[in-house]
Amino acid sequence: MSNDTRVKLSVVIPAYNEEFRLPDTLRHSIAFLKSQPYSSEIIVANDGSTDGTERVVREQADSFERLTLIHHPDRGNHGKGAAIRLGMMAATGAYRLFMDADNSTTLNQIENFWPWFDRGYDVVIGSRALKESVIGTRQNRLKEIAGRMGNWVIRTFAVPGVQDTQAGFKMLTGDKAAVIFPRSTIDRWGYDIEMLVIARAHGCRIAELPIRWINAEGSKVRMSTYFEVLGEVFKIRRNLHAGLYK
């Protein structure tokens, strides 16, 4: 690792009762970051876990100096969006990525992201919907159908042109993170959509890139989640038209 004390990359991992899936994710991510020439940090944003999530993070803290566990002030469960906001606003990196605790998209895939920042893009998002995307273990059929229908609504009413707003692997510059996340209001599943809407409202250039993605067991996404997201799409539209994101 470089002796440069400035953090180039912050990795934010939201976690709610992830004691079984988080250990491998942390091990793989730490190994990757240690092999890089730049300084980095990992922030696990604990969203009110009641299991051994906190213990898991503390057990691995000795293997990576900049592994930090943070909580909401009340230590409650507020939703994935709230946890990501918490982590992004605590991050110090010149670039900031959030990824899922289940390692469905592995951290080494950011190697494909860096060139797009060099080209002047502000936000680079992973996508499962592009021709070059590689999907390993798939979701069940009903979830896939619901996801496609939901994506159509999202593209039509919120983020035209983006094929997959929901993959939990998104990276942006620290400067843009400081603009976007203080303005975000969605605490639960529609946070990705709101982030992209706010980014566009502030003139960000967004690149959507293919990723390798595996549906991990233990997902907390339920069928009802898709309906919740659709409701949040219309809340985001109201916020946008009311000028709340400016």
Least confident of 25-34, 98-107, 160-169: 160-169
pLDDT at 155: 79
C-alpha distances (whole Å) from 76 to each of 71, 82, 83, 141, 207 are 8, 11, 10, 33, 34
Rg for the chain, CA atoms, rounded: 17
Task: Report pLDDT for 4.
Answer: 56
| DSSP conformational letter for 184 | -
Token pair 């289940």 in the structure block, residue: 102
Q: How many CA atoms lie within 13 A of 75 on its CB side?
A: 5
Evaluate if residue 238 carries a pLDDT over 50. Answer: yes
Report pLDDT digits (tens) over 64-121: 999 999 999 999 999 999 999 999 999 999 999 999 999 999 999 999 999 999 999 9
How far is Cα 119 from Cα 122, in angstroms, rounded to an integer? 9
Which band of pLDDT confidence, cut at 50, 70 and 90, is reported for residue 201? very high
Residues 225, 42: Cα–Cα separation, whole Å? 28
> How high is the pLDDT of residue 225?
72
- 206-210, strands of its sheet edge to edge: 67-71, 40-46, 9-15, 95-99, 169-173, 123-127, 206-210
What's the whole-number mean pLDDT along residues 170-177? 98
Helices (H), 62-205: 80-90, 114-118, 141-157, 174-180, 191-201
Reported confidence tier of residue 227, pLDDT bands at 50, 70, 90: confident
Question: How much is the pLDDT for 142?
Answer: 65
The answer to whether 67 touches 26, Cβ cutoff 8 Å, is yes
User: Which pLDDT belongs to residue 2?
Assistant: 45
Residue type at position 233:
V
Angle at 157 between CA 151 and CA 159, to 5 degrees: 65
What is the rounded distance in angstroms from the CA atom of residue 135 to the CA atom of residue 214? Answer: 6
Give residue 1's pLDDT: 42
User: What's the average model confidence in pLDDT over 123-135?
Assistant: 95
Q: What are 122's two structure tokens?
A: 């502000």
Instruction: Quote the pTM value.
Output: 0.90
The first and second tokens of residue 65, run together, are 């100096």
pLDDT at 224 > cutoff 50: yes
Q: Which of 202, 133, 212 is nearest to 173 (CA)?
A: 202
Pair of tokens at residue 243: 């000028």
pLDDT in tens, 132-162: 999 987 555 666 656 666 676 787 778 989 9
Q: Which helix (H) or strand (E) holds 215?
A: none
Mean pLDDT of the residues in the chain: 91
Residue of 200 and 150 predicted with greater confidence: 200
Amino acid at 231: G
Average pLDDT (178-198) is 96
Instruction: With H, G, I as helix, E, B as strand and everything else as coil, classify residue 32.
Output: helix
> Residue 147: what pLDDT?
65
Task: Concatenate the DSSP letters of all residues of 77-110 into one string.
Answer: ---HHHHHHHHHHH---SEEEEE-TT-SS-GGGG
